[in-house]
Chain A
Amino acid sequence: MSAGSPESSAASGRRVLALVLPELLCELLEKRLLWGLQRGKAKPPLGVVLASTASAQVAGSEKSLDATALSFAAVNESARRYGVREGQSIAEACALVASLVVREVTQAEVLETLSCIAEVGLSLGATVAVEAPDTVCIDITGSAHLQGGELALACEFANRVRGMGHSVRVAISDGPRLAKAFAHWFTPEAADPEDRGVCLVPSNRTALAFSALPVTALPLSRDTAAWFVRLGVFTVGELNALPKAALGSRLGDAAASVSELCAGRDRAPLVAYTPERTVSESSAWDEPVTGTEPLLFVLGGLVSRVSARLTGRGEAAHSLVLTLLYDPAIARFRGEKAEQVLRFKLATPLHRADEMRRVLRARLARTKLGAPSLGMRLSVPKLLPAVARQLELSQVLAGVTVSASADDEIPVLIAELSAELGEEKVGTLKLVDSHRPEAKSKLSPASFEPAARSSAKQGRLRKTEPSFAELPGAPTRLLSEPCELHGPLRVGVSLAIDRSLYTIEHLRFEQRLDAVEWWGHAPVTRDYVRLWLQGASGGFEAVAFVDRMTGRRYLHALAD
């Protein structure tokens, strides 16, 4: 179908990309049913009913559906083989396939998915629009060359959406309705192999290409289109050849728009999609899951979708929240909460799927489920602008476009460690100006944000006066908890430390900390002494203190 260069078509006027998700409803249901786990197995026949938001809240299974009143909005390939078609009622379809799986998908779910895909397209064009029930349009006028041309742009977008687990059809034409029609009805087999499955319609051939599409590609009601087919008018070209006056009376209000489309003109505006300030992806399934293996599989999909959306926005996640939804009845029975929230504070903003997956996987894999899981939600509560990774020219010339230096890896590694060990155990050790030895360093959350660096620089400006840590022969190892010594601190006294006996060979008063931080809750009052302890296996120098309030003695540090 393609002919002519993208540049020439782009120069002629508006260019719109339409991405249609023909299997969207079925994909949503399959995701919910975790059919992705059943690799190699044939998928059972499935019929999808599109419901309003209100009814979806009560619709948990096919039993609650009205089999005669509801009709299918979509069916999968297996069901289609049995003769089940869209528009059939549930009763009709079940008469053909008794094992037909029937589920509801809400309009909200559909819109949410389309919104996610729209976010992926935000970085590709000026305006992105969501057109329910299955299309996302992007105005790529003047921006296609940034991606290497219209074809490259369309392929990039299609690949990203396929990475989110959707099958797609993509077309580019002069308007949204035209592009959507081409995306819906073009036959990949008939398309140019060089177009890699994308329908690229040049501006000067739009009318001709459109005339080859079926009548159902026009914005006509189902009955009108069926009537034309019954008359033997199958294509748009055949319809366009009919007398205009007679056609106008038959089409009514739609006549003008149909005439415009047939002439290859489409001035329909795009209603810009505005993304929410938070990103959230969720997945739910009907059969409770008890192990983490299926969850890791679902996590992969969630991360891919979140990553694609973030990339489209040009933003990155400052933190991640993974929520595991449990079976409420079992959770209540076990005394657990209905959902478990895992929070991940990231050392640096992340937006790449593999990096986020590394961070999330480790903790999720060792999470013990409180109850069988029925769903999972991954959300990004705080977004920051994504910092572009600088490409190395030599690698680009060598064909390597994605690289990660050690500097880039460290924040990811820290985030991974934080997720695995706990945020409170991973960070950067900062020096603190304090008299108390135990307060001289502090584990701070690792942060690689520019703001943190500037504050650190400010901190360096302040010159602090020396104290304990700068004393000659300052202790090199501080005990995490002072070890109480049972015995007076005098030369010749033997002390039991860690199941070994040591004798004080030398003792010297060092420093008095008195009324230090008296304004706080626990002012420190200590006399520090330096000891030389001699044991059977050798001796070492240590720092001990006497708590002046209680008179108790503690070993506090070792001086190697």
Chain B
Amino acid sequence: MFAELLACSSFSFLRGASHPEELVKRAKKLGLSAIAVCDRGGLYGSVKAFNQARESEQRSVTGAELTLANAHGRATHKPHRAEEQCPTLALLCETHAGYQNLCRLLTLSHADRSKGESALDLGWLNAHSEGLLALIPAPRKPMDSSTPSPEFLNKVRAAFGERLALVMYRHHDGFDDARLAWVLDASKRYELRVIASARPLFHHASRKKLCDVLHAIRLGTTLDRAGTLLASNAEAYLRSEAQMLQLFPDHPEWVEAAGEISEVLRFQLSELKYQFPCTLEEGESADEKLARLTWAGLSARYPKGAPRAVSEQAQKELTLIAGMKVAPYFLSTWEVVEMARKRRILCQGRGSAANSAVCYAIGITAVDPTRSNLLFERFLSVKRNEPPDIDIDFEHERREEVIQDIYARHGRERAAMVSEVICYRGKSALREVGKVFGLSLEQIARLSGTITHRDCDEVSSQRLREMGFDERDGRIRQILELAHELDGFPRHLSIHVGGFVLSAAPLYEGAPIEPARMANRTVVPWDKDDIETLKFFKIDVLGLGMLQAVKGQPWLLIIGFLAYAIAFAKIGCLPKKSH
């Protein structure tokens, strides 16, 4: 049964026109044996595809398409210059070791490069080819700069041996015959297998318009000027086995080969074993250390002895934490708080962590949970089976010191910030689509005024007329429709406001690490939802201006303390019904 192993999702950023979830759902509907979402330069959409595949009971393959460094060693998958197109290599994970190697290669590809750029050095392949299957896509136009050179083919062949295949696709773009000739020649010369692919950019042909818009945005041009930079047709869509056989009547074995080859690609992201880092004394477990710190902390909090209710609550929590094996998370958080306190940086835990007696005891929070009588299960619950989430506020001007301390303590290989996917929303989508349609900035601003935050599909003709547009103009309607379609599409990755992922093992074995735009910051290419899907733990290191203000103005601290005391006194006095 056919498997699509070279799909490109919207997380290839302004290249693919379908979300990973849409590709997986469509693959399920088409009856594909597997689908590999191979985003360009990273595993950006893999977690979402994996999550959807798990829900849809569709087998997914983890992989990425890496762009090779050109002769000058410069970043090459920077898509804004068509002439800089270089050969690509898709790497798919067979085993967990393969996944680790892929993460390592992606980390290396992004290291020392500016954000969004990556370049694979063929020299790295020998050391990191285990557990990976390599696919070499046929060039878009044979003999142009994207055509793999003999040196490239030799090196990849040497690194992957039998785990290498050529990918042939037909897009009816006028170069099918030339591509076929190249594939047949390379296959014969290097004794390589060939598999068929639709090389889809979207899950359905109807997304061609959006794909053109995305390409125009990426290339920084308008639709009218883009010319042949846009696809000549809508053939780059996800196809069923029957459609693929129809497309490859001369080589049906290639279609079969794609399915066969996918059988060895068994790695799933659910296999990832994440371990939170913490520093332990010899012979002491994380649970024991947390218990020790908790009881010591309670003794300090209650010099006359902890109330019975507090002790019972703490014990209950410790039991739960031990059962869920999340003690290292508390210890790591405690270490971060201790780091800040050593630097005399004001910090405070907030949110649902304030419900925890353990957090109160070890100094992460300053609220006595027994006095406030808050529900601990809101913070941590066996039934929810979710990792705890502790948000800590630091003085906002000194937060960077804490961040760099974390990097220094754990090393760049074990600590990275969480990404945030910046998506097109309402007006930003309308603005971008308006630009590629050639509207002036003034018109775009006026058109943006016709919609509220996320309702560009509901602009009435009357509203358009009021804003000075002729609703009969086909372009205006197309702009609104496509802006609506673009809504929610990822534009680029940004850094999460303060989310940190820490790992006991080198992080690149579980996730690729990329440099962020900000100096001295590194990120994993997933957002907090992906992190949650993978069951990674995240610490939120947040900045709070009020802490800075309190520190800078001691009298504010006194007033704050008084207000705090009065407020809690009043709460304590109020009848329970009012709580």
> Do A and B actually bind?
yes
Contacts of A391 in B (CB 8 A): none
CB distance from B576 to the nearest CB of A (A): 65
Contacts of B82 in A (CB 8 A): 463-465
In the complex, which residues of chain A have a beta carbon less than 8 angstroms from the beta carbon of B478? 519
Q: Nearest CB to that of A432 among chain B residues?
A: B227
Expressed in whole angstroms, the Cα–Cα distance for A488 and B227 within the complex equals 31
- In the complex, what distance in Å separates the CA atom of A178 from the CA atom of B61? 102
Q: In this assembly, does B241 line the interface, its C-beta being within 8 Å of a C-beta of chain A?
A: no
Which residues 133-187 in B have Cβ within 8 Å of A in the complex?
141, 144, 172-175, 178
Report yes or no: A521 in contact with B141, Cβ–Cβ below 8 A: no
B475 to A514, Cβ gap below 8 A?
Answer: no
Residues of A within 8 A of B474 (CB): 519, 521
Within 8 A of B (CB), among A409-435: 432-435
Report whether A472 and B212 are in contact in the complex, using a CB–CB cutoff of 8 Å. Answer: no
Contacts of B306 in A (CB 8 A): none
Nearest Cβ in chain A — how far from B24, in angstroms?
Answer: 25
Minimum CB–CB distance for A470 against chain B, Å: 8
Known: A515-B209, A518-B212. A464 touches B229 (CB 8 A): yes
Asked if A513 and B232 sit within 8 Å, CB to CB, the answer is yes
CB of A53 closer than 8 Å to a CB of B: no
Does the CB pair A519–B232 fall under 8 Å?
Answer: no
Does any Cβ of B come within 8 Å of A278's Cβ?
A: no
Complex interface: chain A residues within 8 A of B227 (CB): 432-435, 464
Contact with A along B64-81 (1 / 0, CB 8 A): 000000000000000001
A436 to chain B, nearest CB (A): 9
Q: Are B228 and A515 in contact (CB under 8 A)?
A: no
User: Is B228 touching A464 in the complex (CB atoms < 8 A)?
Assistant: yes
A437-473 CB contact bits vs B (8 Å, 1 = yes)?
0000000000000000000000000011111100110
Q: Which residue of B lies closest to A512 (CB)?
A: B172
Q: Does B83 contact A (CB under 8 A)?
A: yes
Q: How far is the CA of A465 from the CA of B79 in the complex (A)?
A: 13
- Decide if B223 touches A515 in the complex (CB within 8 Å): no
B204 to chain A, nearest CB (A): 13
Is B25 close to A, CB under 8 A? Answer: no
B404 surroundings in chain A (CB, below 8 A): none
The reply to whether the CB of A516 lies closer than 8 angstroms to some CB of chain B is yes
CA distance A465 to B83 in the complex (A): 8
A434 CA / B225 CA spacing, docked (Å):
9
Given the known interface contacts A463-B82, A516-B233, A518-B212, the answer about A472 and B228 at a Cβ–Cβ threshold of 8 Å is no
Does A204 sit at the interface, judged by CB under 8 A?
A: no
**B233 with A472: CB separation less than 8 A:** no
Q: Check B234 against A514 for contact (C-beta < 8 Å).
A: yes
Contacts of B500 in A (CB 8 A): none
Contacts of B514 in A (CB 8 A): none
Query: Taking A511-B172, A515-B209 as contacts, is the C-beta distance between A465 and B228 under 8 angstroms?
Result: yes
Which residues of A, 250-287, contact B by the 8 Å Cβ criterion? none
B447 to nearest A CB, angstroms?
15
Residues from chain A with a CB closer than 8 A to the CB of B81 are 463
CA distance A174 to B241 in the complex (A): 101
Most chain A CB atoms below 10 A, which of B141, B228, B234, B474: B228
Interface size on B, residues (CB 8 A): 28
A510 in contact (CB, < 8 A): yes
Shortest distance between the CB of A324 and any CB in chain B (Å): 40
- Give the complex CA separation of A528 and B174 in angstroms: 9
Within 8 A of B (CB), among A162-215: none
Q: Shortest beta-carbon distance, A468 to chain B, in Å?
A: 6
Closest chain B CB from A472 CB (angstroms): 7
Are B437's CB and A433's CB within 8 A?
Answer: no
* Min CB–CB distance A375 → chain B (angstroms): 44
Interface string of A460-498 (1 = CB under 8 A from B): 000111111001100000000000000000000000000
In the complex, residue of chain B having the shortest beta-carbon distance to the beta carbon of A519: B223
Q: Are A511 and B232 in contact (CB under 8 A)?
A: yes
Q: Which chain B residues border A464 with CB–CB below 8 Å?
A: 82, 227-229
Q: Which of A432, A510, A514 has the most CB of B within 10 A?
A: A514
CB atoms of B232 and A512 under 8 A apart: yes
Whether the Cβ atoms of B232 and A514 lie closer than 8 Å is yes
Q: Contact flags (1/0) for A88-118 with B, using CB distance below 8 Å? A: 0000000000000000000000000000000
Q: Are B178 and A472 in contact (CB under 8 A)?
A: yes
Instruction: A447 to B64: give the CA distance in the assembly, Å.
Output: 50
Distance A466 CA – B81 CA, assembled complex (angstroms): 14
Which residues of chain A have C-beta atoms less than 8 A from B173's C-beta? Answer: 467, 511-512
Q: Are A471 and B228 CB-contacts (below 8 A) given A464-B82, A513-B233?
A: no
Minimum distance in angstroms from B384 CB to a CB of chain A: 47
Q: Which of B141, B144, B173: most chain A CB closer than 10 A? A: B173
Return the contact of A516 from the options B141, B144, B229, B232 (Cβ within 8 A): B232
Residues of B within 8 A of A519 (CB): 209, 223-224, 437, 474-475, 478
Report Cα–Cα, A537/B235, bound state, in Å. 39
Alpha-carbon gap, A223 to B450, bound state (A): 82
Chain B min CB distance to A271 (Å): 46
Q: A519 to B481, alpha carbons, bound, how many Å?
A: 12
- CB A138 to nearest CB in B, in angstroms, measures 49
Cα-based distance from A471 to B232 in the complex (angstroms)? 13
Decide yes or no whether B199 CB sits under 8 A from chain A.
no
Are A468 and B234 CB-contacts (below 8 A) given A434-B228, A435-B228, A515-B209?
no
Q: Does B425 contact A (CB under 8 A)?
A: no
- Residue B15 CB within 8 A of the other chain: no
Residues of A within 8 Å of B224, CB to CB, are 519
Cα distance A514–B205 in the bound complex, in angstroms: 10
Most chain B C-beta atoms within 10 Å of own C-beta, residue among A465, A517, A528: A465
Bound complex: CA A516 to CA B208 (Å)? 10
The interface bits of chain A over 501-541 (1 if a CB of B lies within 8 angstroms of the residue's CB, else 0) are: 00000000111111111110100000010000000000000
Q: Which of B83, B178, B208 contacts A463 (CB 8 A)?
A: B83
Given contacts A468-B174, A512-B235, contact A518 B209 (CB under 8 A): yes
Per-residue A-contact encoding for B296-318, CB less than 8 Å = 1, 0 else: 00000000000000000000000
CA distance A513 to B232 in the complex (A): 5
Closest to A510 in B: B174
Beyond A514-B233, A515-B209, A519-B437, is A467–B228 a contact (Cβ under 8 Å)? Answer: yes
**Closest A residue, CB atoms, query B141:** A466
Partner of A471 from the list B174, B223, B235, B475 (CB cut-off 8 Å) is B174
Residues of A within 8 A of B172 (CB): 509, 511-512
Residues of B with C-beta under 8 A to A465? 82, 141, 228-229
- Which residues of chain B are near A463, meaning CB under 8 Å? 81-83
CB-nearest residue of chain A relative to B219?
A462
Question: Which residue on chain A has the smallest CB distance to residue B171?
Answer: A512
Task: Say how far A246's CB is from chain B's closest CB, in angstroms.
Answer: 80
Within 8 A of A (CB), among B454-504: 474-475, 478
A-B contact pairs, 18 of them (CB 8 A): A433-B228, A435-B232, A463-B82, A464-B82, A466-B141, A466-B144, A467-B173, A467-B232, A471-B174, A472-B178, A512-B172, A514-B233, A514-B234, A515-B233, A516-B233, A518-B208, A519-B209, A519-B223
Q: Name B's A-contacting residues (CB within 8 A).
A: 81-83, 141, 144, 172-175, 178, 208-209, 212, 223-225, 227-230, 232-235, 437, 474-475, 478
Closest 8 interchain pairs by CB? A433-B227, A514-B233, A512-B172, A511-B174, A467-B228, A463-B83, A512-B233, A435-B232
6 additional contacts, CB 8 Å, given A509-B172, A513-B232?
A433-B225, A435-B227, A463-B83, A467-B174, A512-B233, A519-B475
